[in-house]
Amino acid sequence: MLMKEYIDQAERDLLHTYNRFQIVLDKGEGVYLYDMDGKKYLDFCAGIAVFALGYSNKAYNDALKGQIDKLIHTSNYYYNVPAVEAARKIKKASGMDRVFFTNSGAEANEGAIKAARKYAYLKDGCTDHEIIAMNHSFHGRTYGALSVTGNPHYREAFEPMIGHIRFADLNDFESVASQVTDKTCAIMLEPVQGEGGLIPATEEFLKQVRALCDEKGILLIFDEVQCGMGRTGTMYAWQRYGVKPDIMTTAKALGCGVPIGAFLMTEEVAASSLVAGDHGTTYGGNPLATAAVSKVFDLFEEQGVLENVREVAPYLEEKLEALAAKYGCIQSRRGVGLMQGLVFDCPVGPVINKALEKGLILINAGANIIRFVPPLVISKQNVDEMVEILTSAIDEVI
Ligand SMILES: *Cc1c(COP(=O)(O)O)cnc(C)c1O
């Protein structure tokens, strides 16, 4: 079948919940993807901040192939070696004490919310605890995660959400403090907002929120689903600020393509929160997915992934700043590490489509922002290549 025929068939058979780009991707090699016609694309999307190690990473693929031949699934009624290994490695990388593996980022946030509510319930026996989340946040599409997502557009048609959620503004401590009541059990935020527009929390804000939580006995939940796993130059974004959460969620690059997420907590939270029977998942943490996680942590170390992010990110920033200076239609650059955005004063769809035509994969974050979340193994040369294509795309459509 031709590429066009696959696209037509997809439009007939798949539920139309995405406006997809009109290409069928077929294979990947390093930081490049190829469509069915063999056309090559430089990938600055990485499957939405997922494929950190690049495509066709031999050590990663071999680890998965080995696990497939051994054992793919067991259920959580039994222990399995890859899950134990993965748990040890994620604890070491995060400094958190207990982990629960899920199948996605949204599910990780569901677990975090349940853990926080249970913790509060065990303290006072009440069932009317509140969570404060941020405007412009994104936490996923399931009901709990959607309920704390600060974008009314995503929620409206699906009301009612779960109750007792309040919203405040990231980087506006007073707005957070003013939402606190004696029912507040958790404050939840992304250390760097992704979908909301590549907005980093300030160190001062995070420290103030941490202090507020400590003072009032409120749990601090960080959603590291997009900004975690090395993307900002530390394994988890909060580590650069030195502000540790009580509960943390991660997914996206955690399995580098195999669907897996996790929520983690401190021993203090774990000791009076979810117990046997409170939470579960059929697939979560299965041997195939956790073998991927385990290998990802090894390869991050062996291949110096964090070091690469720290080396290439300033170069990417510099190049994006130069673009912002050169073009009147670009208002600013923002973001941290290899999680960057260019804010335009107009919709960026035409630029992204033109770039795709020219062999560069980019995505947006909101109508006016181009988002740059490449594989974490990109080189400065890849950055130059991206800038060259992007420049000619902007020149042609704006
Ligand atoms: C993508 C994302 C999620 C949702 O993850 P899924 O795996 O799509 O469910 C949650 N939080 C943040 C910050 C994200 O970027």
Q: Which residues of the chain have pLDDT under 50?
A: none
- Cα 168 to the center of its chain, rounded Å: 21
CATH for 59-302 (3.40.50.1100, 1.20.1050.10, 2.40.30.10, 3.40.640.10)? 3.40.640.10
Rounded Cα distance between 372 and 349, Å, is 14
Given the CA of residue 142, which atom of ligand 1 is nearest to it? 9
Residue 251 Cβ contacting ligand 1 at under 6 Å: yes
pLDDT at 344: 98
Contacts (Cβ under 8 Å, ≥6 apart) of 271: none
Q: Which candidate, 221, 230, 190, places its Cα nearest to that of 373? A: 230
Residues of the chain with CATH 3.40.640.10: 59-302
Q: To the nearest whole number, what is the mean pLDDT of the chain?
A: 98
Chain segment 336-346, per-residue pLDDT in tens: 999 999 999 99
Residue 106 Cβ contacting ligand 1 at under 6 Å: yes
Contact (Cβ atoms closer than 8 angstroms) between residue 52 and residue 232: no
Rounded Cα distance between 190 and 241, Å, is 13
Cα–Cα distances in Å, from 187 out to 78, 95, 172, 295?
A: 34, 20, 13, 32
Residue 229 Cβ contacting ligand 1 at under 6 Å: no
Rounded Cα distance between 324 and 369, Å, is 12
Residue 371 Cβ contacting ligand 1 at under 6 Å: no
Rounded Cα distance between 347 and 364, Å, is 9
Residue 105 Cβ contacting ligand 1 at under 6 Å: yes
* Global pTM value: 0.98
Residues of the chain with CATH 3.90.1150.10: 304-384
Residue 231 Cβ contacting ligand 1 at under 6 Å: no
**Structure-token pair, residue 336:** 């941290």
Contacts (Cβ under 8 Å, ≥6 apart) of 394: 323, 327, 329, 351
Contact (Cβ atoms closer than 8 angstroms) between residue 287 and residue 73: yes
Given the CA of residue 109, which atom of ligand 1 is nearest to it? 10
**CA 222 – ligand 1 centroid, Å:** 12
**CA 363 – ligand 1 centroid, Å:** 15
Does residue 145 sit in helix, strand or coil? helix
Q: Which candidate, 221, 216, 215, 210, places its Cα nearest to that of 137? A: 221
pLDDT at 352: 98
Share of the chain above pLDDT 70, in %: 100
CATH of span 304-384: 3.90.1150.10
| Residue nearest atom 15 of ligand 1, based on CA coordinates | 226
Given the CA of residue 141, which atom of ligand 1 is nearest to it? 9
Chain segment 92-111, per-residue pLDDT in tens: 999 999 999 999 999 999 99
Q: Which candidate, 194, 132, 209, places its Cα nearest to that of 168? A: 132
pLDDT at 54: 95
Residue 138 Cβ contacting ligand 1 at under 6 Å: yes
Does residue 223 sit in helix, strand or coil? strand
Chain segment 186-245, per-residue pLDDT in tens: 999 999 999 999 999 999 999 999 999 999 999 999 999 999 999 999 999 999 999 999
pLDDT at 299: 98
**Structure-token pair, residue 387:** 């800038």
Cα–Cα distances in Å, from 334 out to 79, 274, 314, 327, 371?
A: 43, 38, 12, 15, 10
Chain segment 5-16, per-residue pLDDT in tens: 999 999 999 999
pLDDT at 180: 98
